[in-house]
Chain A
């Protein structure tokens, strides 16, 4: 009888349990992605060449006795192509996870989504610790994320042809007349609610347009934004759009020409870098290694991304673009290796184009164009600690040529005419100033347009132009890239034409 009673109780409880499990209402829950362990890049395999400083690499290893950091780093990127490194680091399906830091990937298509993930923080499955995005987008979002104290701590690449500037014939060689408003077809403050402008533009493309107009001497207050397809957009002389957007204006130049204008940076809140510096260092080295690996297997990366094939995606990641689109976008990125980091970030970065100078210029243009309302912070939001710890010092720049002509212009015979067949991208017009200021601008342009040559004309004729060219040479611009032209520019102290080699 007792066993019957226990049997009945058991059956009743079992039935009740099964019934309550099966019949309850179920809400949807976004499960987190599998966290894949990624290998820390071997010291000799992270883009460091033979001259790498072993001390610098060794310093990147977590300090002995430091507590082990097991929490995964959640990485969000603006654009699916920027997550390629994480895909290259993820083991293939069925592959054994390697030892090292763990990551979760969250590629996003909009800056709003990237900001939302950073705002949630890495403790949230739908948040992020680190964001990888173009510098103009970082500047645009800085105002909204200011409380997080976001810091750029690594340059992972440069945009290479993703953004294009289109202009009417000859419009980029002379200043727009009078004080009329200059219309730029781009994603700007007044067009950001326009779906067409959002689809055809980006912060980086807008920056390219603002950069060109700034070189022409157009004051930011004269620039007005227009959406593509609108009557004023069709009448505008300039358009700054992403590659592939149909536009009747001829293509003037792109970020493939201004190949060092738009860096892709890794950004993290200052508090995270303070608290998990060792993990951020390990991630940085692994990520740069992953970039190199991704470059060697672009079809495989694109296929895995498009299929979202066994990848450590974070919660809430949307659909991936097609493989062909990803292949095209991966081709529009130029990677930056570990050995180039200290020449871009930190106290050893002394060139004309560093993350510091690019940030200042981007901020100045973004604020002038209304992309951000805040002035640049007193200290740029750059954290050099990670790069200083993991990257070797930059290779010594070749000293200026001993036979460089003196700045007085008397020995200017070194500056010949530009090579035949060159075409002008854009003209830099210095309305006022001195030779030193113009030379500094030429040095910056020389860094941004890596393969361009420059033709200088100045008030005062050939002699003044040679003095400016000589000053630019002193600042590290090769004499072979400098030429002078006779005559004087109209309405400007000096004009420097940026010419493409044939």
Chain B
């Protein structure tokens, strides 16, 4: 009785000598593949973040609750590119597996982010209001990032102008002239 050897059960390994070690199946070099992965990741993160913030600011119309805004925005950020990927992959013969899906995610999210930033007449008030929410909740860093996306440079209360040069005898108030006739 012949006992199967490991080599018999495992799929036959393609000879690495057939192709140069620096080449992959698509013909891209290893360094190029790494660059593509990095670009994919950066696009995914950047586009995803801007889209997420934009979606949260949109949900902010309905509620100020952070968790509601986050969950709804996450559904949008994951669901919309997933839907697009599904449609694209079904109707075309792109193939490419997970890498192609990730690419489509990155492209969709970056496109949405670009539209958001380009249409600042509409998105600016939304993003500024979203930044205000973070400022009020004490998340200064997040507020600054969102204000940056909204295209404004924030001035926080503590960063206001210097104290007036008045002396200690400065009055508590000085009203404008009332309507009564002056004596």
Contact = CB atoms under 8 A, between A and B. Distances in A.
8 interchain residue pairs of minimum CB distance: A319-B163, A244-B169, A190-B182, A198-B174, A6-B103, A313-B157, A13-B110, A29-B152
A14 B41 CA distance: 11
B69 interface: no
B136 A33 contact: yes
A200 B166 CA distance: 11
A30 B172 CA distance: 25
Interface in B126-183: 128, 131-132, 135-138, 143, 147-158, 160-164, 166-183
B72 interface: no
A374 to B, nearest CB: 9
A464 to B, nearest CB: 36
A256 to B, nearest CB: 16
Contacts of B182: 188-190, 225, 370
A199 B172 CA distance: 9
A291 interface: no
A11 B42 CA distance: 9
A3 B36 contact: yes
A112 B100 CA distance: 62
Given A9-B107, A201-B174, 4 more contacts: A20-B114, A27-B153, A189-B182, A310-B158
A320 interface: yes
B175 A134 contact: no
Contact of B157 (A20, A33, A201, A325): A33
B151 A24 contact: yes
Contact of A373 (B137, B172, B178): B178
Contacts of A2: 94-96, 100
Residue with the highest number of chain B CB atoms closer than 10 Å, among A78, A197, A319: A319
Contacts of B150: 29
A187 interface: yes
Contacts of A411: none
A198 B167 CA distance: 13
Given A3-B36, A13-B110, A202 B174 contact: yes
Given A189-B177, A372-B180, A373-B180, A32 B136 contact: yes
B43 A10 contact: yes
A201 B161 contact: no
A391 interface: no
A319 B95 CA distance: 63
A413 interface: no
B50 interface: yes
A32 B135 contact: yes
Contacts of A32: 132, 135-136, 157
A325 B172 contact: no
B173 A109 contact: yes
Interface stretch (A136-144, A351-359, A453-461, A477-485): A136-144
A235 to B, nearest CB: 16
A25 interface: yes
23 contacts: A2-B94, A3-B26, A3-B100, A6-B106, A7-B35, A7-B40, A13-B107, A24-B117, A25-B151, A29-B152, A31-B131, A31-B135, A31-B156, A34-B138, A110-B174, A199-B166, A313-B158, A322-B163, A322-B168, A324-B168, A325-B167, A325-B170, A371-B180
A202 B173 contact: yes
A71 to B, nearest CB: 10
B164 A319 contact: yes
Interface in B45-90: 46-47, 50
A123 interface: no
A190 B168 CA distance: 25
A370 B39 contact: no
B30 interface: no
B90 to A, nearest CB: 16
Contacts of A197: 174
A199 B171 contact: yes
Nearest to A327: B168
Contact of B183 (A18, A21, A33, A224): A224
Interface residues of A, number: 92
Interface of B: 26, 28, 35-36, 39-40, 42-43, 46-47, 50, 94-96, 99-100, 103-104, 106-107, 110-111, 113-114, 117-118, 120, 128, 131-132, 135-138, 143, 147-158, 160-164, 166-183
Given A10-B106, A17-B110, A192-B176, A320 B163 contact: yes
A230 B103 CA distance: 79
A223 B131 CA distance: 54
B169 to A, nearest CB: 3
Nearest to B170: A199
A322 B162 CA distance: 11
Contacts of A25: 151
A189 B181 contact: yes
Nearest to A225: B183
Nearest to A114: B173
Given A110-B174, A202-B172, A29 B155 contact: yes
Contacts of B148: 21
Interface in A308-328: 308-311, 313-322, 324-325, 328
A26 interface: yes
A309 B158 CA distance: 8
A114 B172 CA distance: 11
Interface string A278-315: 00000000000000000000000000001011110111
Contacts of B39: 7, 10-11, 14
A245 interface: yes
A140 B178 contact: yes
Contact of B42 (A14, A20, A114, A244): A14
